[in-house]
Structure 1
Amino acid sequence: MEAKAIAKYVRTSSMKMGIVLGLIRGKNVNEAFAILQYTPKNAAEVVNKVLKSAVANAENNLNLDINRLYVAEAYACQGPTLKRFRPRAQGRAYRIRKRSSHVTIIVTERS
């Protein structure tokens, strides 16, 4: 049995999100919360929220034991990109890409 939580359209690039997700992948849920609490990246707040949601889904919907849960999968897919332009010298315009991502965390019970 596995519980899943997804956060869509998060305004952080999937590469930056992937760095934080790599820290908690395969870890015990309590250990993952401790790691996220002291990770100095903005993506850590979003990942913490999604992990809490996945744990709540496991506890309330599937009646799994919280103490035996671990992060089975954690990944970020690329979401839609907002395209903006910045004026530059001599009438030129440079493109600015404001990327977003979809974060997915799956927790499972250790056997």
Structure 2
Amino acid sequence: MEAKAITRHVRISPRKCRVVVDLIRGKSVVAANEILTFTNRGASEVVQKTLNSAVANAENLHHVRPESLVVKACYVDEGPTMKRIRPRAKGSASPIRKRTSHITIIVAPREEA
């Protein structure tokens, strides 16, 4: 009886996002929310929105109290990369890769996780 939330095409590098997601893996939802509130990273806001969405899914679909939930699994996959070019000296160009992420968070009741 787990609930899942996926946020796709987030305009932040997966490498930067994984740092934040690793902080909340295995924690209770209340503790994870506190950690994300006080984490000074750009990805923490998006990860917190995804976590709140997963909690809302569990609450609405399975009628589970949010206090009894645990972050069972969370991971960040790489999304499509937008390719741009930057003009350089002597008429040449350098590539710029604007990376995107897919964030997945799965929550489950404490005894099940």
Deviations 1:70-89 (A, max 9, x none): 10111010000000000001
Residue equivalent to 1:103? 103
RMSD of aligned Cα (Å): 0.6
* 4+ aligned runs moved over 4 Å, structure 1: none
Count of residue correspondences: 111
TM-score by structure 2 length?
A: 0.96
Identity of aligned residues (%): 54
Q: Give the SS at the match of 2:20.
A: helix
In the alignment, the residues of structure 2 paired with residue 33 and residue 110 of structure 1 have an alpha-carbon distance, to the nearest angstrom, of 16
Map of 2:78 onto structure 1: 78
- Structure 2 residue aligned with 1:22: 22
Q: Tell me how far 1:68 sits from its aligned partner.
A: 1.2
1:66 Cα deviation from its structure 2 partner: 1.4
User: Could you say which residue in structure 1 is the equivalent of 2:41?
Assistant: 41
What whole-Å deviation, never above 9, does each CA across 1:40-87 have from its counterpart, x for those lacking one? 111000000000000000011111121110101110100000000000
CA distance in 1, matches of 2:110, 2:38: 25
